[in-house]
Structure 1
């Protein structure tokens, strides 16, 4: 009798798992931006963007509390509005785009801190080095986009990473360029 109960319990769990629908959301390139800033000479911040990136979110819950986030960034799309500086950043002193054309991120955990805010933990790979990072994720709501008629969700991701963790700009000490790099992503995702 116990075996039958155990088997029925396992079948019920499998059935529930089979009917859990994972929704895939893709970043809307026209309404998404990936920015960064770094302190220069200890007195001012210099900012820039990566203009080409793709991100997806898989989630079965409306509040995204089980979200899995993945992103791929085209490092060659870096822009600080200064051509010479961008060329230097793409070179071997910093990102070495020829050898490492992409930065990737894949979340490993999401934890609610209340009010649509989460701590998002994941693996960030840059210049072939993978490190675990934790970022703040703010879910800003879901609406129907009046232009596309598709469900559209908005998010803001922010946090700090260390360039030294990935060997980026290791020849430039902290008094010249801060080790900490502030990351801010504002993005819309559509189903």
Structure 2
């Protein structure tokens, strides 16, 4: 009995020394929107891992992907073209991926740096975001600009009708995985 008590007293303090990470599940009512000259719409199929605690940014990790086949411009003909070889080529590149490498606090916001993989091309991007926590739920919001040509998305010969830069805005409600 004394050995068990001694062991418990030895181990108990170390249990509180480990960081508390918050793992979040992405809720179904998220928004992944894009807009630019000549095209706008949404993507569905957002999945991945979100580990975020504002007090432990060094442990934060975002490893998420979007199903590129779900592009929705509100026009079935545009959607078909966007999925085709001249644009997203979803047969060869079915996912758009992002993996964070660093998150810092800047004023009342956060700044995330990571690798965006789009159309088979990886580029490092940095963008601001906010996080609003409400008990066991939260909301991540942010936006960044993508130059489609930097990712090898050239489009057909009439692609000049569509701008190069697209604003991507994210509104991602989350639920604490431990609250499920």
For the criterion TM > 0.5, the same-fold answer is yes
**What SS does the corresponding residue of 1:76 show, helix, strand or coil?**
strand
Contact 1:69 1:107 in 2 (8 A): yes
> CA distance change for structure 1 residues 111 and 17 in 2, over 3 Å: closer, same or farther?
farther
Paired position in structure 1 for 2:154: 169
Secondary structure of the corresponding residue to residue 97 of structure 1: coil
* Alpha-carbon spacing, 1:27–1:175, altered in 2? closer, same or farther (3 Å): same
> Any residues of structure 2 matched to 1:47-86 within 5 Å, and which?
47-59=40-52, 61-62=53-54, 65-66=57-58, 67-86=60-79
TM-score by length of 1: 0.77
SS at match of 2:145: strand
Across the aligned residues of Structure 1 and Structure 2, the Cα RMSD in angstroms comes to 2.2
Does the 8 Å contact 2:34/2:169 carry over to 1? Answer: yes
Q: Is 1:190 equivalent to 2:175 in the alignment?
A: yes
CA distance in 2, matches of 1:181, 1:55: 23
Aligned residues: 162
Residues 21 and 56 in structure 2, CA contact (< 8 A), matched pair in contact too: no
Q: CA deviation at 1:169?
A: 3.0
- In structure 2, relative to structure 1, the CA distance for the partners of 1:143 and 1:84 (3 Å cut) is same
CA–CA separation in structure 1 for the residues paired with 2:48 and 2:153: 23
Alignment of 1:27-106 (within 5 A): 27-29=26-28, 31-40=29-38, 46-59=39-52, 61-62=53-54, 65-66=57-58, 67-106=60-99
CA-CA distance at 1:24 after TM superposition: 1.1
Q: Distance in 2 between matches of 1:172 and 1:55?
A: 36
Which residue among 111, 116, 126 is the counterpart of 2:118?
A: 126
Q: How far apart are residue 81 of structure 1 and its match?
A: 0.7
Instruction: Measure how far apart 1:135 and its partner are.
Output: 1.4
Q: What TM-score comes out, normalization by structure 2 length?
A: 0.81
4+ residue runs over 6 A deviation: none
